[in-house]
Chains A and B, each alone.
Chain A
Amino acid sequence: MFDLSGKTALVTGATGGIGAAIARVLHRQGASVAISGTRAEVLEALKAELGERVHVLACNLGKSEEVEKLVPAAEAAMGSLDILVNNAGITRDGLAMRMKDEDWAQVLDVNLTAAFRLSRAAMRGMMKRRFGRIIGITSVVGVTGNAGQANYAASKAGMIGMTKALAQELASRNVTVNCIAPGFIATPMTDALNDKQKEAIIAKVPAGRLGTSDDVAAAALYLASAEAAYMTGQTLHVNGGMAMI
């Protein structure tokens, strides 16, 4: 099950913990993987780790001309694009009363608008070939909200709505569109928290631990697989039970 031999995938934000884990698991299952992010040296290190079938495509999703070129570059490198993982995301947290227009716009641009534009670029080839997987990494916050993250929560909720619309448009062509909504995942960001802060977070998670990037990557592998053909327009919540939706 979950064999991706001969498939081609693009993972944005592959410099982050979750993005790198997704790239690793898709690659391990046989896919060719284009990895994108802003830090070329981190991407090169991942490529060195994985070896064959890996293409580094440095890209800043905050710049619209770079967004424009990313899917064509992936298609040129791999011959086609079967699986798009819109994983890249940024935060510019702050209480709404103090949130600058710029912080709002930047988060929406990278997290939502770039995901839309990459999906639009990718769906054409997917429709023609009658196969495609578009996977968005959203967040539990997009469903529950979170104080201090009006911009981030809006972008992640927007991704869920967009996913449902695209899923309806593309279902007849065997292109599925789904989201994964991680809860609290152990990343360099959560490493910075002190033990007391971590305890407070874990107290809200029935599973009694933070999630791992691999927990999220396993869900991505399922959604990318041929086996998930009948799953579309959905959001998989990978959160240890902290929110049951």
Chain B
Amino acid sequence: MSDVAERVKKIVVEHLGVDAEKVNPEASFIDDLGADSLDTVELVMAFEEEFGIEIPDDAAETIQTVGDAVKFIEKSAA
């Protein structure tokens, strides 16, 4: 697993209080990990802080799964 994926996983586990094995790339924040709309905002802000990037609102809307987040962050940080 890439470094970004590890860090994303850690943030998701911390924020949502879910088991680490549930946090796979296909897992949807809302449908599989029990996040509500506020959680998704908090996660996006946590990603921004962790990786020193800015995730605009329209991009944030496309981040539905753990894999989406990793892909977006890897692309932004590149």
Contacts and interface: CB of A to CB of B under 8 A. Distances in A.
Interface of A: 124, 127-128, 169-170, 172-173
Interface of B: 36, 38, 42, 45
Nearest to A170: B38
B45 A169 contact: no
B73 to A, nearest CB: 20
A172 B35 CA distance: 12
A124 B45 contact: yes
A115 B34 CA distance: 32
Q: What DSSP secondary structure best describes chain A's contact surface?
A: helix
A233 to B, nearest CB: 16
Q: What DSSP secondary structure best describes chain B's contact surface?
A: helix
A124 B48 CA distance: 14
B31 to A, nearest CB: 18
Contacts of B42: 127-128
Given A127-B42, A128-B42, A169-B38, 6 more contacts: A124-B45, A127-B38, A170-B38, A172-B36, A172-B38, A173-B38
A127 B43 CA distance: 12
Contacts of B36: 172
A170 B42 CA distance: 12
A128 B41 CA distance: 12
B38 to A, nearest CB: 7
A5 to B, nearest CB: 28
B50 to A, nearest CB: 14
Nearest to A169: B38
